[in-house]
Amino acid sequence: MDDLSGELKRGRVLLQPLAEHHLAPLKEACAQDTEIWDIYPVNMLGDGFEAAIAAFHSFENWVRFAVIDTADDKVVGMTNYINPDQFGVVEIGGTYIAPDVRGSGFNSVMKALMIEHAFACGYRKIRFNIDTRNTRSMAAVTKLGAVREGTLRQDRITWTGFIRDTAVFGLLKDEWAG
């Protein structure tokens, strides 16, 4: 399988490898929705931001991206390829986009770009692991054609101490309608 890193672009969606110059605007984007972080595994608000970024950088098998809206050249979030493996499976996750681009089709374009790139790189399956409380994300991946494969009960303890269940979705290359 080919390397997943590099810049990806379609329409107003630009994914750039996450770099130091993205961090301050990313922190600002994360602060635009203080309530959403209660259902994320990590806290990307205030003092929690630096610790979360350090944790993300400690994961060796992550390909990290800053999400940029080219309409105003503004960092609006982040997303990742997680644990690409030798069996052709990669997870897309750790995604956050600011409220001002939600509901605009921005996320669908971003996910389609990532899915198509992963399949072009030789991966055969995309996985999504989502907190079962995150109904918006589960609906979004279902719209992309991903199938719910099950639930991992009490799978992870979030930064708030909540013990979450994780819904696992999968999208096979031959199921992708684009």
pLDDT at 58: 84
Which 3-state string (H, E, C) describes the chain?
CCCCCCCEEECCEEEEECCHHHHHHHHHHHCCCCCHHHHCCCCCCCCHHHHHHHHHHHCCCEEEEEEEECCCCEEEEEEEEECCCCCCEEEEEEEEECHHHCCCCHHHHHHHHHHHHHHHCCCCEEEEEEECCCHHHHHHHHHCCCEEEEEEEEEEECCCCCEEEEEEEEEEHHHCCC
pLDDT at 56: 83
The CA distance from 73 to 134, in Å, is 28
Residue owning tokens 């930064």: 159
Report pTM: 0.94
Band of residue 57 on the pLDDT scale cut at 50, 70, 90: confident
Is the confidence at residue 147, as pLDDT, over 90?
A: yes
Section 151-159 average pLDDT: 95
Mind listing the pLDDT tens digit for each residue in 28-40?
Answer: 999 999 999 988 8
pLDDT at 178: 78
Return the closest-CA partner of residue 91 out of 137, 52, 135, 48.
137
Percentage of the chain modeled with pLDDT above 90: 90
142 dihedral zone (left: phi>0; alpha: psi -120 to 50; beta): alpha
Our CA angle for 41, 42, 48, nearest 5°, is: 165
Is the confidence at residue 177, as pLDDT, over 90?
A: no
Whether the Cβ atoms of residue 95 and residue 115 lie closer than 8 Å to each other: no
Mind listing the pLDDT tens digit for each residue in 69-84?
Answer: 999 999 999 999 999 9
The CA distance from 53 to 133, in Å, is 23
Section 118-134 average pLDDT: 97
Whether the Cβ atoms of residue 173 and residue 125 lie closer than 8 Å to each other: yes
pLDDT at 129: 97
CA 53 to chain centre: 14
User: By mean pLDDT, which of 12-26, 38-52, 82-96, 120-134 is the weakest?
Assistant: 38-52
Return the closest-CA partner of residue 171 out of 122, 130, 107, 115.
115
**CATH, domain 8-175, list 3.40.50.11900, 3.60.9.10, 3.40.630.30, 3.40.50.300:** 3.40.630.30
